Copies of this chain bind each other. A is one copy, B any other.
Amino acid sequence: METIGFHYVVEAAGCDPEILGNADKIRQIFLEAAKVGKMEVKASYFFKFSPTGVSGVVIVAESHISIHTWPEKGYAALDVYTCGTTADPEKAVDYILDKIKAQYAHVSEIKRGIEEDDETFTHMILTWEEKLERKNGDEKS
């Protein structure tokens, strides 16, 4: 497996609080996101913590995707990190943002595992913000 990978570090805001608080729903979304992103799932773990919020990690052959949610704030901290060239992590990010009904995303794309001439490794970061337009049918009431 090559060392180069893409890691998306995402702050998702304006999400649906009911979805963010539902560990089963988040698990479903994540397992489907792994398929959409062409990742091979090795293990997954989700739990609901007290009083609200869900933590979840899916370990994929190419790396991992994870989420930690704060339903009361409509906020989720999302990571999608894959190595190699077969996976499509950005599709997985878009799928998850759509399903948790995020209205805004602050995203850093980190290109990791860049091998330098002196046998060290570095990463490069590109950051942007997205205001997500949804179809009327997808709007929160």
Contact = CB atoms under 8 A, between A and B. Distances in A.
Contact of A77 (B11, B57, B113): B113
B42 A47 contact: yes
Interface residues of A, number: 47
Contact of A43 (B13, B45, B73, B74): B45
Interface residue SS majority, chain A: strand
B55 A57 contact: no
Interface of A: 1, 3, 5, 7, 9, 11-14, 42-43, 45, 47, 49, 53, 55, 57, 59, 61, 63-64, 66, 68, 70, 73-75, 77, 79, 81, 83, 104, 106, 108, 110, 112-115, 119-123, 125, 127, 129
